[in-house]
A and B are shown apart, each in its own frame.
Chain A
């Protein structure tokens, strides 16, 4: 508990540091945020630009603005979006659910399929099935998710017409919960597969290597010499130990999924955090960009912390003091 508290406290200065660097870099980017919100016909009119700059509170030095922003954040106010003029916190909350649904489903799919296939390949090292799956995993890792997403739409929507390619729900659809659930599952199928395809390959390769490493350990030989069945050796001894490095990667993979959703959400018209962040960056919507950055930073740090805590669960030798 003491360790957890210490780690949580350490996150605070790190968050401040990340937000400061992000804020300064964002403001150093070429292009005037104020001119994005001025009628193009007025762009040669400095008075109009200055009026917008004042309205958006862009007329003071960067560090002063950062301090003001941080002060508001500490009071729970993430500011108002330049584009929508709505509170950023409520906009992020609205977009969080679709992104979390997408990311968690994709991570689950990656893990189940990738780890299973990794073990399958390790048990059949250098045989045809191992080689074929290894080749496919490299294809998956090499293929950009947007490209794979396009292929999915081409086949499942255009060719066979099984799955919809836009949004998370059929607008206006009414019915019992299982109908709505099935509708959502159909909408999420392609985005989840597209988002997880590269991850499956990574997990497969990682789990395969880890499992092979464990299978070469002395205690596996001892287990076998005791007369344990192969299944017990594999699942009770090898599998659990091979998962230690996998758990390390698990926490770090969540932010990566959020990053991947930037592209996938755009492609499948999913109103998630990724798309919100993309639009905010393109429009120089500083409060929104900072909120997304802050959220992503928290996610990264939470992921790392989660990995460290999971270590204890999978490896009894590890203890934090």
Chain B
């Protein structure tokens, strides 16, 4: 120790040491700049909002000063009531930037997020699968289900102050078919749109489509005709001018740093009420761990997605609050029904019995995942009671018994054989979706199956699964849906998620559901689908990973519609910081 001290003393005398001292001083200066500012926050203390779920932390506690530090330029809110809710900037960490500057019809996470903020649809769907009016007041459906008359709300404005009228609705349906974009997904060729008056529009369908109310009336966001009428639809994807990309929602897209952040400011004339937050910033942080740490350090006040580790770490910390929602994020092992082994129901049952779901959940999701959903739980007609209860069972014995009955006998090394053929299977996943091959291989081996794990690049994976179909079992992230629309907005009136699976019962049930607007008929059809699919092991279902919404710094999201059937749609005009 003395020697070290002596050495340091000598260092000071040396000229070279001055360089080091200067550098240290520079580092200290940089650090000294670290007081205040908007990005870092201080600890919270005040008891705050109610816990949002039983699973959530006991209560949100946020220090008013801390919350203010977490925001920029939060104005003083003296009065009580709603006035106290105004002010602050919400930072939200997200892994990706917009795919294209013109986000209006992009179907990706950031595009959906910005649309939630900058646009308001005619209706949204609540937890009971009911249409809740937004910029439309109501709709009437004809008895034959082919005509819908929509009454628009008076006083809705575009973000440049122009009124939103029936002309904008008509313009959209005229303009959309001419748009040239890789994002274009809808076909309106069977739809006729008429203007009844300035605030009334009539839609006529050429044939019955039970999805219409759930899709066109909820997902379509119109275009301001006074802006877009002069823009060539062929240049749609190239439009980047923010003054043209305006919507009718609570926040205006005001600034974008490519790959860095998006800033949306309050739209003062939003039809519903003056939004509480001054601004919302979508901060792009691609690295998962860095994003989680940004939430933990309260640089971002809202986290959404698969934050299992962060959730497990912070769920008992009163400074953070979590809301767990069922999601469409299902764990699925897709089986190729064209494969000689997987085309046999007994072999599909063997695979299902050999998936040790609880071990995989612990290994992959830190336990923050549920087992009990056979389908997408947020779909309207999800009913676990009709599903085959054994679809989630893990039993090496039952798998072995099936193999015995099928004539697969253990060989010298324990791997089963039949007619000189060894029992080999292969699971393929993208490298980013590792199903923990060691656990799978171990359980399969116990039943006498040699399991090969093939991780492939995500681009190759799509080709092999969807195009060339060169796989036997594939780990995917999407799953079957049991309602007119699934949580990820896809129509499910076709059995398309079940690749190469051909079951007339299921096909007919989908057709029955599509051709009726009677909820009772649809419920019956979708329950039959759930029952048949699980009994048939059309896919090997594993788990549902809940969507986790995390908040800190006193951010209150209780009135923001997070509990809706579509978690992506959130009424951000109702989000505020507790003072």
Give the B-binding residues of A (Cβ under 8 A): 30-33, 35-37, 39-41, 43-44, 49, 52, 55, 83-86, 91, 94-95, 98, 112-113, 116-117, 119-120, 123, 127-129, 146, 150, 153-154, 157-158, 161-168, 170-173, 182-183, 185-187, 189, 231, 266-272, 275-276, 278, 282, 284
**Given the contacts A112-B23, A165-B293, A182-B33, A275 and B237 also touching, CB distance less than 8 Å:** no
Whether B89 lies near A172 (C-beta < 8 A) is: yes
**Given the contacts A165-B293, A269-B284, A275 and B259 also touching, CB distance less than 8 Å:** yes
Task: Give 6 closest A-B pairs by Cβ, nearest first.
Answer: A31-B459, A271-B259, A43-B466, A164-B39, A85-B237, A271-B260
A119 proximity list for chain B (CB < 8 A): 16
**Could you name 15 residue pairs across A and B whose Cβ atoms are closer than 8 Å?**
A30-B459, A37-B182, A39-B185, A85-B100, A128-B7, A164-B299, A165-B294, A172-B263, A172-B281, A173-B72, A186-B37, A269-B260, A271-B257, A271-B258, A271-B259
**Given the contacts A40-B466, A84-B100, A163-B34, A284 and B459 also touching, CB distance less than 8 Å:** yes
Extra inter-chain contacts (16) besides given A49-B467, A120-B20, A171-B91, CB under 8 Å? A31-B460, A33-B459, A35-B467, A36-B459, A95-B259, A98-B260, A116-B23, A123-B16, A128-B3, A153-B290, A166-B290, A166-B299, A171-B283, A172-B263, A271-B259, A275-B259
Interface of A (DSSP majority class): helix
Whether B89 lies near A116 (C-beta < 8 A) is: no
Q: How far is the CA of A182 from the CA of B460 in the complex (A)?
A: 45
A173 proximity list for chain B (CB < 8 A): 37-38, 72
Taking the nearest CB of chain B, how far is it from the CB of A116, in angstroms? 4
B359 proximal to A (CB < 8 A): no
Q: How far is the CA of A272 from the CA of B31 in the complex (A)?
A: 24
Return the contact of A162 from the options B38, B40, B101 (Cβ within 8 A): B40
Q: How far is the CA of A183 from the CA of B14 in the complex (A)?
A: 34
Whether A164 lies near B40 (C-beta < 8 A) is: yes
Whether B299 lies near A52 (C-beta < 8 A) is: no
Taking the nearest CB of chain B, how far is it from the CB of A31, in angstroms? 3
Q: How far is the CA of A85 from the CA of B38 in the complex (A)?
A: 34
B14 proximity list for chain A (CB < 8 A): 120
Taking the nearest CB of chain B, how far is it from the CB of A237, in angstroms? 15
Taking the nearest CB of chain B, how far is it from the CB of A209, in angstroms? 17
Whether A44 lies near B467 (C-beta < 8 A) is: yes
Whether B31 lies near A162 (C-beta < 8 A) is: yes
B99 proximal to A (CB < 8 A): yes
**Given the contacts A84-B99, A95-B259, A170 and B72 also touching, CB distance less than 8 Å:** yes
Q: Which has the most chain B C-beta neighbours within 10 Å: A31, A275, A284?
A: A31
Taking the nearest CB of chain A, how far is it from the CB of B423, in angstroms? 29
Taking the nearest CB of chain B, how far is it from the CB of A85, in angstroms? 4
**Given the contacts A120-B16, A268-B290, A269-B286, A161 and B259 also touching, CB distance less than 8 Å:** no
B478 proximity list for chain A (CB < 8 A): 40
Q: How far is the CA of A262 from the CA of B279 in the complex (A)?
A: 30
Whether A186 lies near B101 (C-beta < 8 A) is: no
- List residues of B (83-97) whose CB comes within 8 Å of A's CBs: 89, 91, 93, 97
Q: How far is the CA of A34 from the CA of B311 in the complex (A)?
A: 37
B286 proximity list for chain A (CB < 8 A): 266-267, 269, 275, 278
Whether B30 lies near A31 (C-beta < 8 A) is: no
Whether B296 lies near A158 (C-beta < 8 A) is: yes
Interface residues on B, range: 35 or more
B287 proximal to A (CB < 8 A): yes
Taking the nearest CB of chain B, how far is it from the CB of A107, in angstroms? 15
B458 proximal to A (CB < 8 A): yes
Return the contact of A31 from the options B290, B294, B462 (Cβ within 8 A): B462
Q: How far is the CA of A178 from the CA of B37 in the complex (A)?
A: 14
Write the chain B residue with the least CB distance to A188.
B30
B40 proximity list for chain A (CB < 8 A): 157, 161-164
A32 proximity list for chain B (CB < 8 A): 459, 463, 467
Whether B287 lies near A267 (C-beta < 8 A) is: yes
Q: How far is the CA of A121 from the CA of B72 in the complex (A)?
A: 47
Whether B7 lies near A170 (C-beta < 8 A) is: no
A231 proximity list for chain B (CB < 8 A): 15
Whether A128 lies near B34 (C-beta < 8 A) is: no
Q: How far is the CA of A182 from the CA of B257 in the complex (A)?
A: 20
Taking the nearest CB of chain A, how far is it from the CB of B496, in angstroms? 6
- List residues of B (273-294) whose CB comes within 8 Å of A's CBs: 279, 281, 283-287, 289-290, 293-294
A282 proximity list for chain B (CB < 8 A): 458-459
- List residues of B (448-492) whose CB comes within 8 Å of A's CBs: 456-460, 462-463, 466-467, 469, 478, 490
* CB-based A-B contact count at 8 angstroms: 188
Q: How far is the CA of A153 from the CA of B263 in the complex (A)?
A: 24
B521 proximal to A (CB < 8 A): no
Q: How far is the CA of A158 from the CA of B72 in the complex (A)?
A: 20
**Given the contacts A40-B466, A43-B466, A170-B38, A158 and B23 also touching, CB distance less than 8 Å:** no
Whether A116 lies near B238 (C-beta < 8 A) is: no
Taking the nearest CB of chain B, how far is it from the CB of A98, in angstroms? 8
Return the contact of B293 from the options A36, A112, A153, A162 (Cβ within 8 A): A153
Whether B41 lies near A113 (C-beta < 8 A) is: no
Taking the nearest CB of chain A, how far is it from the CB of B31, in angstroms? 6
A164 proximity list for chain B (CB < 8 A): 37, 39-40, 299
Whether A161 lies near B41 (C-beta < 8 A) is: yes
Write the chain A residue with the least CB distance to B37.
A170
- List residues of B (238-295) whose CB comes within 8 Å of A's CBs: 238, 240, 255, 257-261, 263, 279, 281, 283-287, 289-290, 293-294
B41 proximity list for chain A (CB < 8 A): 161
B4 proximal to A (CB < 8 A): yes
Q: How far is the CA of A32 from the CA of B286 in the complex (A)?
A: 24
B364 proximal to A (CB < 8 A): no
Write the chain A residue with the least CB distance to B282.
A171
B386 proximal to A (CB < 8 A): no
Write the chain A residue with the least CB distance to B6.
A128
B460 proximity list for chain A (CB < 8 A): 30-31
Q: Which has the most chain A C-beta neighbours within 10 Å: B31, B238, B290?
A: B290
Whether B285 lies near A166 (C-beta < 8 A) is: yes
Whether A186 lies near B459 (C-beta < 8 A) is: no
**Given the contacts A36-B459, A44-B467, A186 and B33 also touching, CB distance less than 8 Å:** yes
A275 proximity list for chain B (CB < 8 A): 259, 286
Whether A185 lies near B30 (C-beta < 8 A) is: yes
A271 proximity list for chain B (CB < 8 A): 97, 257-260, 284
Taking the nearest CB of chain B, how far is it from the CB of A201, in angstroms? 15
B11 proximal to A (CB < 8 A): yes
Binary contact readout B165-191 vs A (1 if CB under 8 angstroms, 0 otherwise) = 000000000000000001001000000
B17 proximal to A (CB < 8 A): yes
Write the chain B residue with the least CB distance to A160.
B34
Whether A86 lies near B238 (C-beta < 8 A) is: yes
B285 proximity list for chain A (CB < 8 A): 166, 269
Taking the nearest CB of chain A, how far is it from the CB of B335, in angstroms? 16
Whether A172 lies near B297 (C-beta < 8 A) is: no
B412 proximal to A (CB < 8 A): no
B456 proximity list for chain A (CB < 8 A): 30
Write the chain A residue with the least CB distance to B235.
A85
Whether A84 lies near B466 (C-beta < 8 A) is: no
Q: Which has the most chain A C-beta neighbours within 10 Å: B23, B285, B459?
A: B459
Taking the nearest CB of chain B, how far is it from the CB of A180, in angstroms? 11
- List residues of B (420-437) whose CB comes within 8 Å of A's CBs: none
Binary contact readout B499-526 vs A (1 if CB under 8 angstroms, 0 otherwise) = 0000000000000000000000000000
Whether A186 lies near B34 (C-beta < 8 A) is: yes
Q: How far is the CA of A44 from the CA of B494 in the complex (A)?
A: 14
Whether A266 lies near B287 (C-beta < 8 A) is: yes
Whether B496 lies near A116 (C-beta < 8 A) is: no
Whether B462 lies near A83 (C-beta < 8 A) is: no
Q: How far is the CA of A84 from the CA of B279 in the complex (A)?
A: 25
Q: How far is the CA of A187 from the CA of B30 in the complex (A)?
A: 10
B438 proximal to A (CB < 8 A): no
B388 proximal to A (CB < 8 A): no
Q: How far is the CA of A91 from the CA of B299 in the complex (A)?
A: 27
B261 proximity list for chain A (CB < 8 A): 167, 171
Write the chain A residue with the least CB distance to B16.
A120
B54 proximal to A (CB < 8 A): no
